[in-house]
Homo-oligomer: A and B are copies of this chain.
Amino acid sequence: MNDNKSRTVFFISDGTGITAETLGHSLLAQFPEMRFKQVRLPFVDSVAKARECASRIRDAARNDGARPVVFNSLVDSEVLATVRQADALYLDLLERFIEPLESELGVKSTHTVGRFHGIADSLDYKDRIEAINFTLAHDDGVSHANLDTADVILVGVSRSGKTPTSLYLAMQFGVKAANYPLIPEDFERNKLPTELHKYRRKLFGLTISPERLAQIRQERRPDSLYASLENCRYEIEAAQRLMQREHIPWLDSTARSIEEISTKIIQEIHLDKRGY
């Protein structure tokens, strides 16, 4: 066992490095007792830049007294060979996976530099930007226009997580996600807001624990009725009753990240733009 608990981890790419970093973070999360100093080196697309990387890897090794870990997605073999002159543990995303894929598919990969950041399909990209614009224009019930083109309309009490979830759905999945608050007037009438009636099949609810909601609202408006635990409890019970009556599917956002909530929503209502 090595009791050295601090390492430098590099994410090196000829593009943004976001793929290498996403995978790297997930893997490093499996070693919670270690401390990692993380360095992102994007757009490494020349031998000169590769030399700089190698030199930074050597510096880190000297400072830490231990070999750095390098997640890399470099396509150009000369650039890659130049970086690898520095001693480190190289976890090479392309090398590990492209070869088995090539032999399985029976075709050669294009080895296109910069394609590795995953924004290959420009139509897909345009959909995402459009979805972001749509979601912004339909945040918090701001506009009822064009709700018929929404893919989903999130409903829930104020601060139940609708806005960040809508934005994540748009940005990651290209889903046009509007959101609409359920407010005390709706609970008194025990009815959905009139504007939403004809879109009932697009509605998806978010709920949250009263304690967590009170905590979030407290940060926004300390010591208000709005933030009081009693009021939060009332609003949440009323919202859940309403959603149940209207047969709106819903989930609890309390202990879930926006990534988890968004993935669950897509799974539950078969919302997928990429033909899953």
Interchain CA distance A163-B167 in the complex, whole Å = 12
Q: Which of B27, B67, B105 contacts A2 (CB 8 A)?
A: B105
Question: With A93-B23, A115-B29 known to touch, is A164 a contact of B260 (CB < 8 Å)?
Answer: no
Question: With A107-B1, A164-B132, A167-B171 known to touch, is A26 a contact of B264 (CB < 8 Å)?
Answer: no
A31 touches B101 (CB 8 A): yes
Interchain CA distance A96-B23 in the complex, whole Å = 12
Kindly state whether residue A109 has any CB partner on chain B within 8 Å. Answer: yes
Q: How large is the interface on A (under 10, 10 to 19, 20 to 34, 35 or more residues)?
A: 35 or more
Q: Which of B104, B263, B264 contacts A89 (CB 8 A)?
A: B104
B33 touches A107 (CB 8 A): yes
Question: With A22-B19, A163-B136, A275-B37 known to touch, is A109 a contact of B267 (CB < 8 Å)?
Answer: no
Kindly state whether residue A181 has any CB partner on chain B within 8 Å. Answer: no
User: What are 24 pairs between A and B in contact, CB < 8 Å?
Assistant: A4-B106, A15-B260, A18-B22, A19-B22, A22-B23, A22-B118, A23-B23, A23-B97, A26-B117, A27-B101, A29-B115, A30-B94, A30-B98, A31-B110, A38-B274, A38-B275, A38-B276, A40-B263, A89-B100, A89-B101, A96-B97, A119-B257, A132-B163, A171-B171
